[in-house]
Chains A and B, each alone.
Chain A
Amino acid sequence: MNADRSPEQIIRDVVAAVTLKRTEGFGLDDDLQKLMGIDSLSLLRIVAGIEEEFDVRIPDEELHALRTLRAMLAQVEVAAM
């Protein structure tokens, strides 16, 4: 994990890398699937990127719920505990 970046910024970078789109305009509670047209596989790529960056494993049953930056941040916090 890059210590120079906040967890939120790391997640935003992962989302940007997977979607090839900028995320600056998206709020923490915006539904990324709706706003960015992200499909289910891209969401899972984001999960993979987050798990790699934070060295965590998000529970399988939570995979479907990671539609907002806030939800992703929350899962990272829970998984890191």
Chain B
Amino acid sequence: MRIGLIAMSGVRVRSKELVELGVTLPGFVNRGKVIASLPSLGLLVVAALTPAEHDVTYLEVDVMPETLPDFDLVGISTFSAQADEAYVLADRYRARGAKVVMGGTHASLLPDEALGHVDAVVCGGAEDVWPALLEDAKAGTMRPVYRGANRGFYAEREPVVPRFDLLVGRPYNRITIQTSRGCPLDCDFCAASKIFTPRYEQKPVAAVERELRRVVSLFERPFLEFADDNTFVNRAWSEEFLRMLATFGLRWFTETDVRVADHPGLPKLMYDAGCYQVLIGFESPSAESLAGIDRSNWKAKRRGEYLRAIDTLQSAGVTVNGCFIVGLDADTPGIFEQVNDFVRESGLIEVQVTVLTPFPGTRLYDRLKREGRLLQERFWDRCTLFDVNFTPKQMTVDELESGLRWLFRELYSEQATNRRKRHYVEVVKRLEPAREEPS
């Protein structure tokens, strides 16, 4: 079969005011551009699971194309914000006689909705079910729902090496590799860990090394982004991983939590292994706002360590991209100034602010629905992380929207962006002489 694997890509923002503001703030669009240009690792795994008898093409769709390449079977992966566009694409392919399969977070959580547009949905990971689905498709016996693996990804299976070769010749700034699935924190608003595994699982270092060898055989000195929710949870694994990674001499970015600064020596190991930046979800500078966002109240308990952790990491040369969410239940209109003050005080070199977003399938969504606080019944195209979809508890929707815009103007102004850039240049100058020797 000719199989097309299509990733819905790009970053969406619906609020007209925010779009207009965003294009004038380079700091705001920067990370968006990076995210928008990341390949879909999930589909590269699906490609690797596809038997060699099939012809596989990998595509990304941001703006809907007028003409579509022909395939016998199409696999589409989408987030909630692009779900409606993915359904239009699926409808077009089905109208041409192709079989259409959908996977990813949104379809996994709402398979019945997706089945209005596709022939089959893969819920969870494609491991175990994709080859069987293809056999069924060939025989004309495809089932509507295939429930893929959601645990034991690495303990019970040999991880496949994603088909990185499908990316060759395309202008990616970063190549993604996954080292773990899930996250031990289980935050109220997070859909990822809930769908893909109820447990936190880490890939054996030898398996990551195998993938790295494949990547460096295909791309000259690639910049890596580890497609993890939380990379550095286990100290022993982290040290083994970083020592292996250092042998490749590459630069990389990943996401983790604040405990990474607890381990003496780990930030230096990260720097020596080529870490440019870690993204940490601090979520809020307000301890009251953090209360209850994860099951064990871990983030609220850790609030007092935020400044020290940022300083520890950045002093070691690992820059921190601090992420904050506004619109949490304890947030008042004063939260915007609090975030702005925290960012200045902390010396964070990069910052991301998003609005609390009730993705379907999360505990947050269920709670807000129960409390009658969702603004619309169906709002997937507004699950952009920048559009408000619920009534906040301590302020109006308008206050949340205008406060977010004010915060963007403050954080991403030329002056604030330049201040953070200069801070980074000075950190590098303190650390680099021993490192940046021409090769």
Comparing B8-16, B260-268, B429-437, the segment that makes contact with chain A is B429-437
* A41-62 CB contacts (< 8 Å) to partner B: 41-42, 44-45, 47-49, 51-52, 60-61
Taking a contact as CB atoms under 8 Å apart, the answer to whether A20 and B418 are in contact is no
* B93-127 CB contacts (< 8 Å) to partner A: none
Chain B residue at smallest Cβ distance from A14: B436
Chain A residue at smallest Cβ distance from B277: A41
Q: Determine whether A19 belongs to the interface, using a CB cutoff of 8 Å to chain B.
A: yes
Assuming A44-B425, A48-B425, A52-B433, is B418 touching A37 (CB within 8 A)? no
**Chain A residues positioned under 8 Å from B249 (CB to CB):** 20
Which secondary structure dominates where chain A touches chain B?
A: helix
Taking a contact as CB atoms under 8 Å apart, the answer to whether A21 and B429 are in contact is no
Taking a contact as CB atoms under 8 Å apart, the answer to whether B418 and A61 are in contact is yes
Chain B residue at smallest Cβ distance from A21: B221
Min Cβ gap A48→B in Å is: 4
Taking a contact as CB atoms under 8 Å apart, the answer to whether B251 and A63 are in contact is no
Range for the number of chain A residues in contact with chain B: 20 to 34
Min Cβ gap B310→A in Å is: 16
Complex Cα distance, B418 from A41, in Å, reads 12
Assuming A20-B249, A48-B429, A49-B432, is B221 touching A60 (CB within 8 A)? no
Taking a contact as CB atoms under 8 Å apart, the answer to whether A44 and B428 are in contact is yes
Chain B residue at smallest Cβ distance from A58: B425
Within the complex, which residue of B172, B414, B432 is in contact with A48, where a contact is CB–CB below 8 Å? B432
The contact sample of 16 A-B pairs, CB cut-off 8 A, is A14-B436, A18-B436, A20-B439, A37-B173, A41-B276, A44-B428, A45-B432, A60-B418, A60-B419, A60-B422, A63-B421, A63-B422, A63-B425, A64-B417, A64-B418, A64-B421
Question: Could you tell me which A residues sit within 8 Å of B by CB distance?
Answer: 13-14, 16-21, 37, 39-42, 44-45, 47-49, 51-52, 60-61, 63-64
| Given A48-B429, A64-B417, A64-B421: 10 more A-B contacts, CB < 8 Å | A17-B438, A21-B220, A37-B172, A39-B276, A41-B277, A44-B424, A48-B428, A48-B432, A49-B436, A51-B425
